[in-house]
Homo-oligomer: A and B are copies of this chain.
Amino acid sequence: MTLIIALDQDSSKASSIVGMLCSVASGFKLGLPLLLEAGAKIACRLRMMCPEKLWIADLKLADIGSTMKLAVSQLVGCVDGVIAHSVVGVEGALGELKEYLEQHGVKLILVVAMSHPGAAEAYNRLLEHNVEVAGRLRVWGVVAPATMPDIVRRVKSFLPETVILSPGVGVQGAKPGDALCAGADYEIVGRSITASSDPLKAARDVLAEQRRRLGECRASR
């Protein structure tokens, strides 16, 4: 299973999406807009609808340790992982967060590169630092953009044992399978499934295309 659904829309819509896609998705990524609208408690409510899948809070945390810990404390018990930014560094920030999450059985997932064009200005030039931080902290997963398969390949070569999650499939321009063929473990898809008139069919189409592409790219190795 290789598909994580990004939920950024209103909470009633999110509930209906979770109900429809629980059987086909590997997991769900709860975006900041949704968590702000409904409060962190929505994570528990949605999770109860599909408890066995992977639940990730995408806060894109980028703050000092004490603030990040206070933020995630509200999600402990409701999500399996939280997303933070590698770029803020370890001491006084991610080091404290990692320790706290470990104590509470929550996975840390670090953004090491981003998918929008402006990321090339500065953010993605920190790729080696960001990947080194992820390695140093032995995080469970990293986020790298499906729109930039070369970056996914580099991350995979630096961190062969770390789970790679790739957003940017669909509206942002990457095709299903692009990131998987480059070494990602999951592709994160939002609007092209959740805003579709038939989200279940759209999700199945993405999964079928992922399988087809993976077959192709594995055959050509």
Q: Which residues of A contact B (CB under 8 A)?
A: 8, 31-33, 35-40, 59-65, 67, 70-71, 73-75, 85, 87-95, 114-123, 126, 129-130, 133, 172
Establish whether residues B36 and A67, one from each chain, have CB atoms under 8 Å apart when the complex forms: no
A32/B8 contact (C-beta < 8 A), A92-B116, A116-B65, A119-B93 known: no
Bound form: Cα–Cα A32–B72 in Å: 10
Establish whether residues A114 and B38, one from each chain, have CB atoms under 8 Å apart when the complex forms: no
Establish whether residues A89 and B123, one from each chain, have CB atoms under 8 Å apart when the complex forms: yes
Pick the contact of A39 from B36, B95, B120, B133 — CB < 8 Å? B36
Establish whether residues B36 and A115, one from each chain, have CB atoms under 8 Å apart when the complex forms: no
Establish whether residues B89 and A87, one from each chain, have CB atoms under 8 Å apart when the complex forms: no
Establish whether residues B62 and A62, one from each chain, have CB atoms under 8 Å apart when the complex forms: yes
Establish whether residues B122 and A126, one from each chain, have CB atoms under 8 Å apart when the complex forms: yes
Bound form: Cα–Cα A76–B115 in Å: 26
Quote the shortest CB–CB distance from A62 to chain B (angstroms): 5
Bound form: Cα–Cα A118–B33 in Å: 28
Pick the contact of A114 from B36, B88, B123 — CB < 8 Å? B88
A123/B87 contact (C-beta < 8 A), A63-B32, A67-B31, A95-B118 known: yes
Quote the shortest CB–CB distance from A114 to chain B (angstroms): 7
For A70, the chain B residues whose CB sits under 8 A away are 8, 31, 33
Establish whether residues A117 and B88, one from each chain, have CB atoms under 8 Å apart when the complex forms: no
For A33, the chain B residues whose CB sits under 8 A away are 67, 70-71, 73-74
Bound form: Cα–Cα A133–B31 in Å: 25
For A93, the chain B residues whose CB sits under 8 A away are 114, 116, 118-119
Bound form: Cα–Cα A37–B90 in Å: 26
Establish whether residues B122 and A94, one from each chain, have CB atoms under 8 Å apart when the complex forms: no
Quote the shortest CB–CB distance from A156 to chain B (angstroms): 21
Quote the shortest CB–CB distance from A151 to chain B (angstroms): 15
